[in-house]
Amino acid sequence: MTDEQLAKYEMTIGIECHVQLATATKLFSPADNDARDKEPNAVVHPIDFGLPGMLPVLNRRAVDLAIRAGKALNAPIARVSRFDRKHYFYPDLPKGYQTTQMYQPIILAGYIDAPLEDGTTVRVRIHHAHMEEDAGKLSHYNGYSLVDLNRAGTPLIEIVSEPDIHSAAEAKAYATELYRLMTYAGVTHGDLYHGNMRFDVNISIAPKGATELGKRAEVKNLNSFRSVERAAEYEFRRQVELLEKGERVVQETRGWNDDKQITTSQRSKEDAQDYRYMPDADIPPIVLSDEEIAAIQAEVPMLPSEYRVRWMQLGLDKSVINSLLANQNYARLITELQEKSGDSVAKRVAHWFASALGQMASDDDATPVDVSAPYVSIDDLTELATMTEAAELSSTAAKDIFVELLGGAVNPRAIAEAKNLIQVSDEGAIAAVVDEVLADPASASSLADIRAGKEKAIGYLVGQVMKKSQGKANPALAQKLIRERL
Distances (CA, A) of 112 to 158, 159, 332, 353, 470: 15, 11, 21, 27, 55
What would the DSSP string read from start to end of 307-332?
HHHHHHTTT--HHHHHHHHT-HHHHH
**pLDDT at residue 371 above 90?**
no
For range 205-217, the mean pLDDT: 91
Nearest CA to 370 among 328, 336, 307, 333?
Answer: 328
For range 82-103, the mean pLDDT: 94
For range 101-121, the mean pLDDT: 95
54: three-class secondary structure by DSSP:
coil
Torsion of CA 158, 164, 170, 175, to 10 degrees: -10
**pLDDT at residue 417 above 90?**
no
For range 38-55, the mean pLDDT: 93
**pLDDT at residue 221 above 60?**
yes
The per-residue pLDDT for 182 is 97
Q: Which amino acid is at 397?
A: A
What would the DSSP string read from start to end of 153-166?
T-EEEEEEE-S-B-
| Most confident stretch, 20-29, 245-254, 442-451 | 20-29
* C-beta neighbour count of 481 within 10 angstroms: 22
The per-residue pLDDT for 367 is 43
* C-beta neighbour count of 437 within 10 angstroms: 23
pLDDT digits (tens, 9 = 90+) for 145-193: 999 999 999 999 999 999 999 999 999 999 999 999 999 999 999 999 9
The per-residue pLDDT for 176 is 95
- Range name among 89-103, 143-157, 273-287, 412-426 with the lowest pLDDT average: 412-426
Residue 288's pLDDT band (cuts 50, 70, 90): very high
Whole-model pTM: value is 0.85
Is residue 44 within 8 Å of 31, Cβ to Cβ?
yes
* Buried/exposed 180-204: b ≥16 CB within 10 Å, e otherwise: bbbbbbbbbbbbbebbbbbbbbbbb
Beta partners for residue 217, in sequence order: 203, 252
Nearby residues of 397 by Cβ (< 8 Å), 6 or more positions away: 416, 419, 421, 423
Beta partners for residue 46, in sequence order: none
The per-residue pLDDT for 364 is 42
For range 428-456, the mean pLDDT: 68
**pLDDT at residue 322 above 50?**
yes
Pairing of strands 80-81, 286-287: antiparallel
For range 464-476, the mean pLDDT: 67
| Domains of the chain, residue spans | 3-291, 302-407, 427-485
**pLDDT at residue 474 above 90?**
no
For 112, the enclosing helix (H) or strand (E) is: strand 110-115
**pLDDT at residue 426 above 60?**
no
pLDDT digits (tens, 9 = 90+) for 126-152: 999 999 999 999 999 999 999 999 999
Report the top-level CATH class of 427-485: mainly alpha
262-268, strands of its sheet edge to edge: 110-115, 121-133, 155-161, 9-20, 197-207, 217-222, 252-257, 262-268
Nearest CA to 159 among 123, 194, 111?
Answer: 111
Nearest CA to 124 among 228, 48, 224, 36?
Answer: 228
For range 369-389, the mean pLDDT: 79
Distances (CA, A) of 147 to 56, 63, 141: 21, 28, 11
Q: Is the dihedral of CA 137, 183, 187, 405 positive or negative?
A: positive
Is residue 334 within 8 Å of 359, Cβ to Cβ?
no
Q: Which residue has the higher pLDDT, 423 or 41?
A: 41
For range 291-315, the mean pLDDT: 94
Residue 369's pLDDT band (cuts 50, 70, 90): very low
**pLDDT at residue 362 above 70?**
no
- The CA R_g of the chain, rounded to the nearest whole Å, is 29
The per-residue pLDDT for 119 is 85
Is residue 474 within 8 Å of 421, Cβ to Cβ?
no
The per-residue pLDDT for 363 is 42
For range 209-235, the mean pLDDT: 93
The per-residue pLDDT for 323 is 87
For range 203-214, the mean pLDDT: 91
Is residue 437 within 8 Å of 465, Cβ to Cβ?
yes
